[in-house]
Structure 1
Amino acid sequence: MADIIQLLPDHVANQIAAGEVVQRPASVVKELLENAIDAGATSIKLIVKDAGKTLVQVIDNGKGMSATDARLSFERHATSKIRSAEDLFQLNTKGFRGEALASIAAIAHVELKTKQETDEVGTVIVIEGSTVTEQDIVVTPNGTSIAVKNLFFNIPARRNFLKSNTVELRHIFDEFHRVALAHPTISFALYNNGSETFNLPNSNLRQRIVNIFGNKTNEKLVPVEEETEILTISGFVGKPEFAKKTRGEQYFFVNDRFIKSAYLNHAISSAFEGLLKNGTHPSYFLNLYVNPQTIDINIHPTKTEIKFDDEHTLYALLRSAVKHSLGQFNIAPVLDFERDSSLDTPYTFNNKVSNTPTIEVDRSFNPFTEDAKPRQRSVSMASSYKKEDTTGWESLYVGLESKGTKNTQDFSEVHFESDETTISAFNDESKVDQAQTTYQLHNKYIVSTIKSGMLVIDQHRAHQRILYEDFLRNMTIKEGVSQQLLFPLQLHFSTQEIDIIKELKEDLEHTGFVFSNLKKDSIEISGVPVSIPESEVSIILEQLISDVENEVPDSNFSATDLLAKSMAKSLAIRTGQTLKKEEQEHLVNKLFACKEPNVSPTNRTTFITMSVDELDKKFI
């Protein structure tokens, strides 16, 4: 039998490797930014067009490469960070696999310009699908500029799987934020379709967080500092009252490398136990510094997952450090046994001399003397009682019998009236049936009778369906009724969240929202839909942003539909809410006036029916 196993050609192997390293344009952004940092750059620019599908370019002022290194960097497993296997456990750099540039060059058009400070001219290399089409001398500034164009041009199936520009751009922003937060001492700039989106100067971590997420973030941060032999922690956590429904502002950095760890995230959540509302998540920006020998980075192609030698110790240290910071800055209640604040001297009594109380005694008082004043007073009081006229006491009893008879008649009349009322309440069957058409069960279900049996409605899902169709109708016919606010609402969001609101602004206005001002990090709302309370506006917008980010809609997604679903989910009656009889009946009537009363907007059953026959079978 002939041999059937053969070695893959390099260009095919590179395309397969690209499937692990390059999943979307954001993957290219991550690899190129990390290479720029490893090159010692102090200023990095990221240029993106069409959400990275047309162009991703990174320009840095690092040390650059020689002509030989520039050519060799696109070969597989070519790296300057690893010399032996032992170096894998002493990593202090970002990229070390040697697959990033080779994988990117296999699926895109790449143009590299690089120059070292000691050289007079630089090198330009052009690669198309792993094939070098040009290598020449070029005049270029110190550092490296690498442009990745037409991503997945030779793999159309992978290109078709990319999401819409909005979603892909959000992933690029996420990667940009992760790298920028890990290195606040490096200045970063991001240009999207020719316009500047971020310009982050050289700063400290707190200023970097504020520059990315808005000026309002500064008052939300609580510093966390802890240094031990095993672990050094520095960074910030958000105050509990500013916790969000999304997990967007959660960043762990281990040795300046962004990681994801559900285990360490649980440590933060347990430190905030009892301080957060249901359904909200704390914000944190924490740098963890450990010995590189105690971690293994090389367990995932994207290097976002790390294996720790002693996770339990890190969990305990991280939890206690966050809990200590929350207590130290009076965010969480603490017990202090050293002093009692109730014993402190009030400010108004400082430097005042206290008056010593004195007791005065009448030493001449003798209770046994006849001329004592209390004795005289008692005699006079007794004499006054004796002077009371008691003549004609018999007249007090005149007519007593007639009064008693009248009172008896009054009581009997009251008794009979009460009996009649009680009897009519229980015996008038028509009134009973009219008053009890619906029942609320456990403040969750509404039970109603129908001809064939019984109807059980989930009040939360049913109200979602009612609100969803109302909002969808208002947005379709563009006739949302707005209620003007006496004082406009000022809400603060990050730049990324503001962009989402801008995209949905037109649909929101059709529901009744009125935006008087949209800034880079805040919005001003002067009108809201009539059905929405003013206090719920920020919650609704946060939920809407969360839905847009987490549902990851594709190009066929309808912003109007998602907006109607999100608002209905935020405003629907909750499980556990007591409803009056009129509210129950109104909910039932509105539900069956909907076009699709059977399911909620998320395709979950809103009601079930049970016939009399089914009930009868239960008693067999």
Structure 2
Amino acid sequence: MNMSSGNGQPVIRRLSEQVVNRIAAGEVIERPAAALKELVENAIDSGARRIQIRLDRGGMDRIEVTDDGCGMSPGDLRLAVERHCTSKLRDETLVRISTLGFRGEALPSIGAAARLTVMSRLRDSDSAWAIRVEGGVVGEVEPCAGSPGTRVLVEDMFFATPARRKFLKSPRVESSHAENVVRRLALSAPHVAFRLEFDQRLILDLPVQDMAARVAAILESGHADGLLPVEGQRGDLKLSGFICAPSVHRATANGQMLMVNGRPVVDPVLRTAVRVAYRNVMEHGRHAVVALSLEIPPEQVDVNVHPAKTELRYADSAAVRALVIGSLGRALGTGAGVAGVRPDLLQSRGPSPARIWYPPERSADATGLSTRLAAPIGASGAADPGLPTGFAESTLPLSALPAARKVVPEGPEQPAADMTPAIDHPLGAAVAQVLGTYIVSQTADGALVLVDQHAAHERLTHEILRQQYLGGEIRAQRLLLPEVVDLPARQVAVLLSFSVALGRLGIEIEPFGGTAVLVRTMPALLGKEDPVGMLRDLAEELEADDLASPAQADALDARMDAIIARMACHGSVRAGRKLTHEEMNALLRDMERTPRSGTCSHGRPTWLKLEKADLERMFGRR
């Protein structure tokens, strides 16, 4: 109710402490998961080695967090429920913050919106003490029974602020948010055991673990062998963690666990860097699954941006992005077979973009020529030391890979690599070809590997073209008879605007009337590929991207990789072509040597692995 003086002018008055606390609670505690986050952070900061969490109806009815941390004395307990009282700040500069919490607002905010009971006992004390807060009204500290550590009970969330309670979602949705919070915090503290129950159902039971095992458990990747380690440093910045292969992805970014100085964050700078790093190896619209930890000097980051403490400001955000993109690029630059990809890890994708179908090839190219690949070249034009050195010596026999041709003279012909089937290779030795499309191989440990021959060779061709494009070495092959490609006028205009860039790829075009272009050359690497079908696909590819512009360097770089991907698709071994054992093993070996070969140019997996446990589960033996 507005208050005014006798002449109708509003009068400023001081709000009561209870109203102030309820207003502040709206910033800190927006839903039960937010309250749970604050309570678990307090438990971790207390030095707990085990944290037990129980929720009823997504936390709307009850949240209980029990830890075996240092506990609190009666005096500390009384201060803990007052606003802006904390034991976690050593000074008032707000620069070197080493704890998860530091604002002193969590317990007062929860007590202002719900019924809060805190019971705590010091490790060397004979008894425990309790204090109760209901709707901002603080009770007296009283003795009670309890084990060393702290137990916090929150009941009837938002009973004192019914307007906020009406905006809560269903218990299932609120439980999902709460579980996500616990997973992120558990990842930040692998030295702490976590147990999480929803409505008396066990959701998580994590023992004390090393980081690799904790990441595997949190990301639900089965075991640490399916993860790619990440290490990187740039000045005072250090990045570490684990990531899943590009073929493992999700519809949302909930699978991205990001930490800065041990603090779980939802940071747009880091998420953008992850998206850029995966851009050319993952299906469009999908999100990578990663667990990354950034160590940064405290004075170079501000964590006091938002009461939830999940948003940050960096003194040099460009350096952070460069570190993440570079480190993930090196980790993703491994050949196939390094990180196992099991069918149960692949998420449902929904309808996939239509792929071009090609009729089976009638005969193999038996010219016997081969191509020696140059060292991989990164976006800067320099060789990337983080990529496998074996890739520089890969030899692709044309009997197995007909799209490969020697397009750049490199001195004496290199001897063919030893392609003797060896079961101890990461992708094993070829056993058979199924449906004229899939290669079945067996590894030394008895696992079965399935390879999509077209998807795999598409990536190999992509990487050759990409290297040559970045090195300015793509050789064009003039057509005996120039091809005329009829297209809608708008697509003709788009193609002609990229004519210079396409020329660098070995595709020379020129206008041929208002609705056609004339194709004079094609990349020699692609051999006798039909230029008409390729130009039509490239025109649709460029037209579909509203941001595609030959005048924008970043957009051009992304577009050229997409164009190269389309060219690689046209120039690859077709599904339906029968391969010999020698050809199949040659393809497997080159997959192991080629960076990013775990997915094709469209981001789909090129290989899957079925281990003994997977087979036993499928046949009901476990």
Task: State the TM-score, normalized to the length of structure 1.
Answer: 0.54
- 3-state SS in 2 of match to 1:63: coil
Structure 2 residue 270 is matched with structure 1 residue 264: yes
Partner SS, residue 269 of structure 2: helix
CA separation of 1:171/1:339 partners in 2, compared to 1, >3 Å: closer, same or farther? closer
**Letter aligned with residue 266 of structure 2:** K
Alignment of 1:200-599 (within 5 A): 200-214=206-220, 216=222, 218-328=224-334, 335=376, 340-342=393-395, 343=415, 346=418
> Residue type of the partner of 1:94?
L
Checking the alignment, whether the CA contact within 8 Å between 2:219 and 2:289 is kept in structure 1 is no
Q: Are 1:239 and 1:331, in contact at CA under 8 Å, matched by a contact in 2?
A: no
CA contact (8 A) 2:113 2:159 kept: yes
Equivalent residue letter for 2:331: S
Give the 3-state SS of the residue equivalent to 1:85 in structure 2. Answer: coil
Residue pair 2:215, 2:242 contacting (<8 A) in 1 also: no
Q: Aligned in 2, Cα 1:166/1:348: closer, same or farther, shift over 3 Å? A: closer
SS of the equivalent of 1:4 reads coil
Residue pair 1:56, 1:149 contacting (<8 A) in 2 also: yes
Give the direction of change, closer, same or farther, for the CA distance of 1:525–1:100 in structure 2 (3 Å limit).
farther
1:26 corresponds to which of 33, 52, 59: 33
Deviations 1:593-616 (A, max 9, x none): xxxxxxxxxxxxxxxxxxxxxxxx
What letter corresponds to residue 192 of structure 1 in structure 2?
Answer: F
Matching residue's letter, 2:42: N
Residue 174 (1) aligns with residue 180 (2): yes
Q: CA deviation at 1:273?
A: 2.8
2:151 alignment partner AA: S
2:47 corresponds, among 40, 47, 69, to 40
What residue number does 2:61 align with? 54
Q: 1:329 to 1:255 in 2, by over 3 A?
A: farther
- The answer on 1:123 being equivalent to 2:129 is yes
Q: 2:253 aligns to what SS in structure 1?
A: coil
Q: Check if 1:186 corresponds to 2:258.
A: no
- How far is 1:96 from its partner? 0.8
- The Cα shift of 1:348 comes to 6.4
Change (3 A) 1:16 1:344: same
Which digits, 9 at most, give the CA deviation of each residue in 1:74-96, with x for residues without a partner?
1111111225431x100000111
* CA positional deviation for 1:120: 1.1
Deviation at 1:6, TM superposition (A): 1.8
Structure-2 residue corresponding to 1:92: 98
Deviations 1:158-201 (A, max 9, x none): 11111111111111011111101111111100011122211011
Structure number with the bigger relative contact order (C-alpha 8 A, sep ≥ 6) is 2
Which structure dedicates a bigger proportion of its chain to helix? Answer: 1
Give me the whole-angstrom Cα distance separating, in 1, the residues matched to 2:39 and 2:391. 55
Which residue does the alignment assign to 1:143? 149
Question: What is the alpha-carbon distance in structure 1 between the residues aligned to residue 390 and residue 184 of structure 2?
Answer: 42
1:464 maps to: none
Percent identity over the alignment is 34
Of residues 3, 16, 41, the one that matches 1:9 is 16
Correspondence for 2:380: none
The structural deviation recorded for 1:218 is: 4.0
Take 1:251 and 1:230, find their aligned partners in 2: how far apart are those partners?
22
Report the equivalent of 2:592: none
| Cα distance in 2 for residues equivalent to 1:310 and 1:127 | 43
Q: Distance in 1 between matches of 2:147 and 2:335?
A: 48
Which amino acid is 1:297 matched to? Answer: V
The change in CA–CA distance for 1:231 and 1:126 in structure 2 (over 3 A counts) is same
For 1:107, the equivalent position in structure 2 comes to: 113
Change (3 A) 1:311 1:339: closer
2:57 touches 2:172 (CA, 8 Å); kept in 1? no
Q: CA deviation at 1:205?
A: 2.2
SS at 2:333's partner residue?
helix
CA contact (8 A) 1:114 1:144 kept: yes
Whether contact under 8 Å (2:244, 2:290) holds in the other structure is yes
Tell me if the contact between 1:220 and 1:242 (Cα under 8 Å) persists in the aligned partners: no
Displacement after TM superposition at 1:248 (Å): 1.9
The alpha carbon displacement at 1:278 in A equals 2.0
User: Shift in Å at residue 238 of structure 1?
Assistant: 1.4
CA contact (8 A) 1:127 1:134 kept: no
Counterpart Cα distance in 1 of 2:307 and 2:18: 19
Matched residue pairs, number?
357
Q: Aligned AA for 1:105?
A: G
Give the letter aligned to residue 65 of structure 2.
V
Taking the aligned partners of 1:160 and 1:89, their CA distance within structure 2 comes to 38
After superposition, the Cα gap between the structure-2 partners of 1:277 and 1:348, relative to the gap in structure 1 and judged at 3 Å, is closer
Give the aligned residue type for 1:98. G
Amino acid of the structure 1 residue aligned with 2:418 = P
Alpha-carbon distance between aligned partners in 2 of 1:197 and 1:329, rounded to the nearest angstrom: 36
User: 1:67 maps to what in 2?
Assistant: 74
Q: Taking structure 1 as reference, are residues 121 and 273 closer, same or farther at Cα in structure 2, changes over 3 Å only?
A: same
Quick one: structure 1 residues 81 and 4, their matched pair in 2 at CA, closer, same or farther if it must change by over 3 Å? same
CA contact (8 A) 1:299 1:305 kept: yes
Alpha-carbon distance, 1:29 to partner: 0.4
For residue 598 of structure 2, what is the aligned residue in structure 1?
none
Change (3 A) 1:132 1:241: same
Return closer, same or farther for 1:346/1:72 CA change in 2, 3 Å cut-off.
same
Gaps (5+ residues) in structure 2?
339-372, 377-388, 396-414, 422-538, 541-615
Secondary structure at the aligned position of 2:12 is classed as coil
Do the aligned partners of 1:25 and 1:51 also contact (CA within 8 Å) in 2?
A: yes
- Superposition RMSD on alpha carbons, in Å? 2.9
Q: Which amino acid counterpart does residue 36 of structure 1 have in structure 2?
A: A
Distance 1:9 1:331, change over 3 A: farther
Structure 1 residues 523 and 4: CA distance shift in structure 2, 3 A? farther
- Matched residue type, 1:72: L
